[in-house]
Amino acid sequence: MERRHLEFFLAIADAGSFTRAAQVLHIAQPSLSYSMRTLEAELGAALFERHGRGVRLTAAGEALVGPARRAVRSFGLAASAVRGVTDGGFGLLRIVSSTTWAVHPLVGLIGQFRRLRPHVRFEVTDPAARTVVLDQVRTGQVDFGLVDGPPPAGALASLELAEQQLLAVLPPGSGQGLTSTVEELVRHGLIGTPRGTALRGLLDTHLEAAGQATDVMVETAHAASVVPLVLSGAGAAVLTEGMATDAATKGARVARLEPEGRAAVSLVWQGAGLDGVAADFLDLVREHRADPAS
């Protein structure tokens, strides 16, 4: 199975027509038709059925779309890795992200990319608020930003990276229950970061949904100190899965929240287009999103 056959297949699927796909690809339609016959013969199944002026995917074609997109992106990442060796692979990527999302999913993405492009440098900064992230991306101060909540509208492009469950994190020895109510957390005293930060925003939203006041007993500007404060017995916290998992390994009690809370995080960038290492990083992010186990 050749890369170009998969690229041609996806172009037809997106265009809904052999004629339009041939125009987009700048190739003759007979050549495109021949490539699809070759691919269908190799797979032993028809991928398109004709209707009116265009074509629609068969069940086999629908099944191929996802794997084909991942395969084409993987070819691009492989080429990127080779370029990283042959051209020195130097570059700088600037990303702004709150600590909440810098722990997960960002660290895993940076690790994957650095294995492909070991000479690319990263600068990850911590914003004061979501609006700062969006402003820095809009003005070109950074290449990418990570934000929770609804993706931005307008000139910025975005891609949802993950949705994480919010979990209750309580001091060691505070019980054995697998669930925890907001009322229980309040009794322990809540620990949070300052208003306007991503972590505090998630906490406040959950408290408001439960009809509780958004006050905390310990407010710290250092997100990295939230888990140590819980472990010290200073109070309880509401954290994302990535941070809660780390807390559990250190002895904190981690429980499901009642009512349940979830948070989605998106990568944002200037919608005008990317090139160089920024485009390569976005390719990797899309590949990871399509196959998180990769």
Residues 57-79 pLDDT 10s: 999 999 998 888 778 767 766 66
176-180, 271-275, 279-283: the lowest-pLDDT one: 271-275
136-140, 206-210, 235-239, 252-256: the lowest-pLDDT one: 136-140
Q: Which two tokens stand for residue 63?
A: 């099944």
**pTM of the predicted structure, to 2 decimals:** 0.64
Instruction: Decide if pLDDT at 141 tops 50.
Output: yes
What is the percent of the chain with per-residue pLDDT over 90, rounded to a whole number? 42
Q: What are phi and psi of 118, to 5 degrees?
A: -65, -15
Domains of the chain: 3-85 (1.10.10.10), 92-107+125-273 (3.40.190.290)
Instruction: Decide if pLDDT at 261 tops 90.
Output: no
Q: Which two tokens stand for residue 99?
A: 């600590």
Q: Which two tokens stand for residue 254?
A: 């981690």
| Peptide bond just before 259 cis, omega within 30 deg | yes
**pLDDT confidence tier of residue 153, bands split at 50, 70 and 90:** confident
Instruction: Decide if pLDDT at 128 tops 80.
Output: no
- Per-residue pLDDT averaged across 184-201, rounded? 90
- Per-residue pLDDT averaged across 221-238, rounded? 93
CA 292/CA 294 separation, integer angstroms: 5
21-35, 80-94, 278-292: the lowest-pLDDT one: 80-94
* Confidence (pLDDT) at 235: 96
What is the percent of the chain with per-residue pLDDT over 70, rounded to a whole number? 92
* Confidence (pLDDT) at 291: 64
- Per-residue pLDDT averaged across 134-148, rounded? 88
Contact 147, 111 (CB under 8 A): no
* Confidence (pLDDT) at 195: 87
- The rounded Cα 64 to chain-centroid distance in angstroms is 23
Instruction: Decide if pLDDT at 25 tops 70.
Output: yes
Instruction: Decide if pLDDT at 86 tops 50.
Output: no
CA 200/CA 202 separation, integer angstroms: 5
46-55, 82-91, 171-180: the lowest-pLDDT one: 82-91
Between the two ends of the chain, the Cα-to-Cα distance in Å is: 21
Instruction: Decide if pLDDT at 118 tops 90.
Output: no
CA 274/CA 74 separation, integer angstroms: 18
Instruction: Decide if pLDDT at 80 tops 60.
Output: no
